[in-house]
Structure 1
Amino acid sequence: MVYVVSDSVGETAEMVTRAAVSQFNHGHLEIRRVPYLNEPEDIREIVEEAAGFASIIVFTLVQPNLREILVQEAGARNIRAVDVMGPLIEALGTITTTTPRLEPGLMRKVDEEYFRRVEAIEFAVKYDDGKDPRGIIQADLVVLGVSRTGKTPLCMYLAHKRIKAANIPLVPEVAPPEEIFTLPPHRLIGLNVNPQQLVDIRRERLKALGLPADAGYARSERVLKELAYARKVFQRSGCSVIDVTNKAVEETAGKVLEIYHKGERYRSE
């Protein structure tokens, strides 16, 4: 019998144990994982149980006091205890000045954050530029604005903060999805911008595409019409409005996250 003991999930210790057991053609050894051991009394109970079998204990306990208790209790009952994490943490300590955090489950937290970030990035791509209205209900945040107000870069930046954001372009000739009017205000962000700056941005965009810079898309009259329409949608939806004139995406995102998290805290109270 091999007891795999951890103050977290215990996946690391079990993986190492199974790799070692495989060298003995599995040897008909039973492996029992015991996760989330954070109290001395729990450790003593497991050691007492293990004493009733021909067994060893493989463990990943990051708290030094818990490691010490396990080693002492196992030694008193002649049970071999194998520390998977402790020696490596001590060895790393000899080549770095950083103090170990000694916090259980850190690797799992890092993995979860990574996959949430990937999921948010995929979401931002899938629901970019109003491609699919279903994203509105599924999103943590929905960004509204006329063309070239920086909706897509903002959503991608938010995705790296693990926020699933969709964006909807506002065009006077196309009614916005009705779903946006059902969202809480803190989950709906409208982007406004100085008209002349928007004209300049659109003209540069047209040039980059090899199109005439004086096309209707970049004319002042068209820009003013679109911005006026956007303001009506903002007012009807009750969304928070951010002026992105001369703002970097990081600055805009900071304001968006402040609005979002404040709203989430208010709803949870």
Structure 2
Amino acid sequence: MFPTICVVSDSVGLTGQSIARAASVQFGVESPHVEVLSKVRSFDQIERFLTEQVEVAQRERGDRRVLLFYTLVTSRLADRLAGYLGENPHILGVDIMSPALSAIAQVSGITPSQVPGKLHVANQQYFSRVEAVEFTIAHDDGRNPQDLVKADIVLLGVSRSSKTPLSIYLSQQGYKVANVPLDMQTEPPAELYDVDPTRLFGLMTTPDVLVDIRKRRLGTAATVAAAGRYADPEYVYQDLEDARAFMRRLGCIVVHTERRAVEETAQEILRYFERAHPPQAI
């Protein structure tokens, strides 16, 4: 009979569970029964848990032996458990974390922090970034304006003012970003007026820079009258003036993008944003 595997952790226990399953597969068992005690803060919790598991093993299998995988980054708990296991040989314990921590500390000369749950926090941050990127892609170029109030940051600007590159860059830092194009032929979405102005950022550039960018964007199509108007200096100037007036009405923060790397503009936006919305401590 394949044994129940007990996992004890001062975090959520995902590492112990993963290793338990990976090892079990080598015995032809893809879904072993795993009992988890997570977020341990005292040895009394561990002792009660193991006593209960020994009783269950005795009752169900007539065998007091218990298999334990434990991941305790707190040396006080890990040492206490190691001593307990020495006094209770019917509990076979596998210390997953301590040898790894000791090896890294020995080679690096760095003392481990012994803060439980750091990997879980890192995973949460990873998935938050993925969610932010997905949100940003779904709200690029004015799409889904009904969700503008859900965005961390909303970027406004005329065509070719770096809205999309900035949005993607900021989303990779974990911010949900929506961007809305401004042009003289289209009425901006009314939902913009519902967004907190400290989350609204208007992207502005100079007419000469924008004319040059639009001409390069058009390529040979610039000779066509309708397309050429898009890069006409007078049209571009008016496009920017109308956008600037709208940004003033919204009360949003205006940030210049001309001749700046995406990273530079993003840092300026984040300075304003984090001043109004200080990041929460982890």
Taking structure 1 as the reference length, the TM-score comes to: 0.86
SS at match of 1:241: strand
Q: Which amino acid aligns with 1:17?
A: A
Q: Which amino acid aligns with 1:62?
A: V
Alignment of 1:163-178 (within 5 A): 163-178=175-190
How far is the alpha carbon of 1:96 from its aligned partner? 3.9
How far is the alpha carbon of 1:25 from its aligned partner? 6.4
Match of 1:32 in 2: 35
CA distance in structure 2 between the partners assigned to 1:167 and 1:41 by the alignment:
53
How far is the alpha carbon of 1:156 from its aligned partner? 0.6
Q: How many positions carry a matched residue from both structures?
A: 264
Contact 2:13-2:38 within 8 A present in 1 as well: yes
CA distance in structure 1 between the partners assigned to 2:209 and 2:51 by the alignment:
74
Q: Which amino acid aligns with 1:9?
A: V
Q: Which amino acid aligns with 2:257?
A: V
Name the CA shift for 1:262/1:203 in 2 (closer, same or farther; >3 Å): same
1:49-92: CA deviations, max 9, x gaps? 45545223320001222100111123223333211122223334
Structure 1: gaps of 5 or more residues: none
SS at match of 1:211: helix
CA distance in structure 2 between the partners assigned to 1:75 and 1:50 by the alignment:
17
**1:143 pairs with 2:129:** no
1:125-184: CA deviations, max 9, x gaps? 222111332342332211001111111110011011011111111011111000001100
CA distance in structure 1 between the partners assigned to 2:186 and 2:254 by the alignment:
20
CA distance in structure 2 between the partners assigned to 1:231 and 1:81 by the alignment:
67
Match of 2:19 in 1: 16
Alignment of 1:188-267 (within 5 A): 188-207=200-219, 210-212=221-223, 215-265=228-278
Alignment of 1:123-138 (within 5 A): 123-138=135-150
SS at match of 2:125: helix
Contact 2:156-2:182 within 8 A present in 1 as well: yes
CA distance in structure 1 between the partners assigned to 2:93 and 2:248 by the alignment:
66
Taking structure 2 as the reference length, the TM-score comes to: 0.83
Contact 1:206-1:213 within 8 A present in 2 as well: no
CA RMSD of aligned residues (A): 2.6
